[in-house]
Amino acid sequence: MASATVNPDLQKERQRATFDADQLTYFLYDGPANTRRKRYLQNLAVQETEKYKFRPIATLSQEQQYEQALMRSFISGQLEDRLELKNAKELSFLREAVAPQVAVPYGLHMSMFMNTLETQSTEEQKARWLPLAKSFRMIGTYAQTEMGHGTFLRGLETTATYDAKTKEFVVNSPTITSIKFWPGGLGKTANCCIVMARLITRGHDYGMHPFLVQIRDLDTHQPLPGITVGDIGAKFGFNSNDNGFLRLDNVRIPRDNMLMRYSQVLEDGTYVKPKNDRLTYGTMTLIRSNIVGGAARSLSMAVTIAVRYSAVRRQSEIQPGAGEVQVLDFQTQQMKLLPLVATAYALTIASRNMAAFYLRVRQQIEQGTLEELPQLHALSAGLKALSSWQATEGIEACRLACGGHGYSHASGLPKLYGTGTPLVTYEGENTVMMLQTARYLVKCHGALQQGQKLPSLMKYLEQPPGGSSGLDPRLDLSDLVTAYQHRAARMVSDVSAKLMSAASQGQKPYAAWNSNSVELVEAATAHSEAYVVKSFVETVSTFSGKLCSVMETLCRLYAVRGILKSLGEFMQDGYINSQQAKMLRSCLADLLAEVRPNAVALVDAFDFPDAVLDSALGRWDGQVYQALYDYAVNSKLNEKQVLDTYHKYQRPFMESQWKKNTTVAVPARL
């Protein structure tokens, strides 16, 4: 875009940057060639989508949003076929540009349904089902959550009872609370689903297992006998996705519709248990890994909007009589936004590292090695919770930082919040996720007490407690990592000691766990934050030159802001003293000032096309006010100057009020 069309304040911000934003973009997208490919695909997608002149999603009914999402998926599918795309990253970039921040009805089909078939099916089952799923002859979803139960899998009520006479499973929803509720794509799109149900054979309940259940006719799309299915209605967000309900009335499916890669039911009803129960972690771990990346990307979009707008918006004075200044020049605005820029990068890097960790463990599983699976599961649960909490809070903070205009759908922030906040609850409610991580941490602490070797990610628990941190104004990055790990190690040790004390006093383990659950969540959160800081520091160390300097400052900002937000936890055992705390607060102000000149360049590096941001406030050219005006003019209420409601309701109301006081003269014009 020519500089002549760019808001001069935004142009100035880009010129004052101390590093080349493209170099950071190349890091985010794995090099110049991949970045060019990404831009090509997204530009192509934007050009194709613009032909359809889609209306803003906020102006559409739920039915219209669903229809538009299906249209966007159709456009994406045509482009994917024409370009013969197979690469997962290329597909994600294209789909993001075709359907920006739109929850498409095929989302769970392409993620959880396909991945579960891939990871939980036998080779024979994959040969039979995957071609149908990949060709969209079979469109699926993942039905686990029920009306009355979610994350607590042992509480799920749907049953799959084996009938040895007919060699079938009878799948049933025995109560109102057992109705499957919330799966995306279930309401109107899917014709099959993977149903998580309690396997019962020979009178014994073996707990939750996955079953493939056809719910609609493959040609007519009508629900099959015994199936009651539909959409759950309008929601806070995600209304383009047909989240659904499913009631199963003794629906019979073939025995081999149980996904049997790890556990099986033989024809006579004999249950063959998996070699290791942890093998079933696979799909959920992958999805949680993807959620961390999704949370990072949502927050990255929000900070891009808020920082660009804060560079363009001029309001109030700093020096009396010197005129209005850019809002981003106020330290209070910097405090709201710049740590969130750092958080967006921290979560992005953590998600990349976790994805690499997942792939490594997945390869180990294929080779029969399960040693690292428990720590991957614990990490994925903790990071899923931490990233979605930080992203949700961050998006809302960005909206508030944009003042009144942030409340408008024109800003793009309400839509981002609507699609970001569900991350907190789906695929595992966050508090429960942190408690799962905490259980693993306590187990590792117990192993350490018994002299056992700890897994790689847990080595920091071996740190001796207490002692001064030795933090100084230089804020060496390795010292910050040590500080976070020390805090986490102490918190794990403290809560583990409380559990052991409760046990020695005869308290039941479940009661001790519940009475210490707040501290357990806090310890798991500290562990997750320590991983993010360590990932950030290790990645920054691979940079060089001016980019390295900028990213080191950003890394310090993330770590220091985190310490100050949880200062009591770092000071509790004297690891950080009051003088060091005072020094950190002073350093925070210095770090904000250091990041400030690069704020716009840092968000530019995320490389979001305007069509993907879908924001009048976050436009690359900074022409915010023209975009806001255009959005206002195009409101549907402006299609007619005088609405029918004026004659139907407003005028009669006005006349009724006039009649109360006949002495009031009604002029033709004021």
By annotation, the residues acting in catalysis are: 427
Per DSSP, the three-state class of 271 is strand
Confirm or deny that 184 is annotated as ligand binding.
yes
d(CA 609, CA 97): 8
Q: Sign of torsion, CA 496 289 615 421?
A: negative
Query: Distance from CA of residue 359 to its chain's centroid?
Result: 19
> Is the separation of the CB atoms in 527 and 441 below 8 Å?
yes
End-to-end CA gap in the chain: 48
- φ and ψ at 606, to 5 degrees? -65, -25
d(CA 84, CA 78): 10
Strand pairing class (192-201; 180-181): unpaired
Beta bridge partners of 223: 216
Nearest-10 crossing angle of helices 373-401, 430-449:
140
- Among the listed residues 598, 608, 609, 613, the one whose alpha carbon sits nearest the alpha carbon of residue 20: 598
> Is the separation of the CB atoms in 509 and 503 below 8 Å?
yes
- Which tokens belong to 80? 């994917």
> Is the separation of the CB atoms in 419 and 101 below 8 Å?
yes
- Among the listed residues 205, 229, 203, 207, the one whose alpha carbon sits nearest the alpha carbon of residue 216: 229
d(CA 542, CA 33): 20
d(CA 615, CA 89): 24
DSSP string, 402-452: TGGGGGSGGGSHHHHHHHHGGGGTTTS-HHHHHHHHHHHHHHHHHHHHTTP
Residue 55's Cβ-side half-sphere holds a number of Cα atoms within 13 Å equal to: 12
What is the maximum span of the chain, computed from C-alpha positions, in angstroms?
95
> Is the separation of the CB atoms in 326 and 311 below 8 Å?
yes
Per DSSP, the three-state class of 245 is strand
d(CA 310, CA 631): 19
Query: Distance from CA of residue 68 to its chain's centroid?
Result: 23
> Is the separation of the CB atoms in 641 and 63 below 8 Å?
no
- Which tokens belong to 64? 């219209």
Per DSSP, the three-state class of 515 is helix
Cα–Cα–Cα angle for 515, 521, 524, nearest 5°? Answer: 135
- Which tokens belong to 150? 């979610």
d(CA 616, CA 273): 56
Per DSSP, the three-state class of 497 is helix
Give the residue ranges of DSSP H helices in 278-372. Answer: 282-312, 331-366
Confirm or deny that 145 is annotated as ligand binding.
yes
Strand order in the sheet with 244-248: 180-181, 244-248, 227-231
Q: How many CB atoms lie within 10 A of CB 574?
A: 12
What residues have CB less than 8 Å from 331, skipping those under 6 apart? 589, 592
Binding-site annotation: residue ranges for FAD: 145, 184
